């Protein structure tokens, strides 16, 4: 049986980027979201970077959010022709 440390490392090394595919119905309720964010605020912060900042994007706002992600990626890449390719990811 692998150690907890090895399991964590294996998990990190096998991580896949899902882009927007994980953002599907049903979204958490307000109460579930409060619980999720409350737990996230308690995560270890050894570099003392608090306060945490969370952005909540509700399903009705997904398309606008995806447009902004694609625009930000395109600006970062410095190539305006990449917008459509970036937008397809979401």
pLDDT along the chain (90 residues), means of 10: 69 66 75 89 74 82 92 93 89
Q: What is the pLDDT of residue 31?
A: 93
Q: What is the pLDDT of residue 35?
A: 92
CA dist 9 and 72 (Å) reads 30
Q: What is the 3-state secondary structure (H, E, C) of the chain?
A: CCCHHHHHHHHHHCCCCCHHHHCCCCCCCHHHHHHHHHHHHCCCCCCCCCCCCCCCCCHHHHHHHHHHHHHHHHHHHCCHHHHHHHHHCC
Which residue has 């570099």 as its token pair? 47
Output the six-digit token pair for 88: 């397809």
């Amino acid at each position: 049986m692998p150690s907890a440390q090895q399991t964590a490392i294996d998990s990190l090394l096998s991580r896949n980027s899902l882009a927007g595919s994980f953002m599907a119905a049903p979204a958490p309720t307000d109460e579930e979201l409060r619980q999720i964010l409350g737990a996230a605020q308690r995560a270890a912060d050894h570099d003392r970077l608090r306060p945490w900042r969370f952005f909540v994007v509700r399903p009705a706002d997904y398309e606008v959010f995806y447009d902004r992600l694609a625009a930000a990626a395109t600006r970062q890449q410095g190539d305006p022709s990449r917008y459509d390719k970036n937008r397809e990811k979401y």
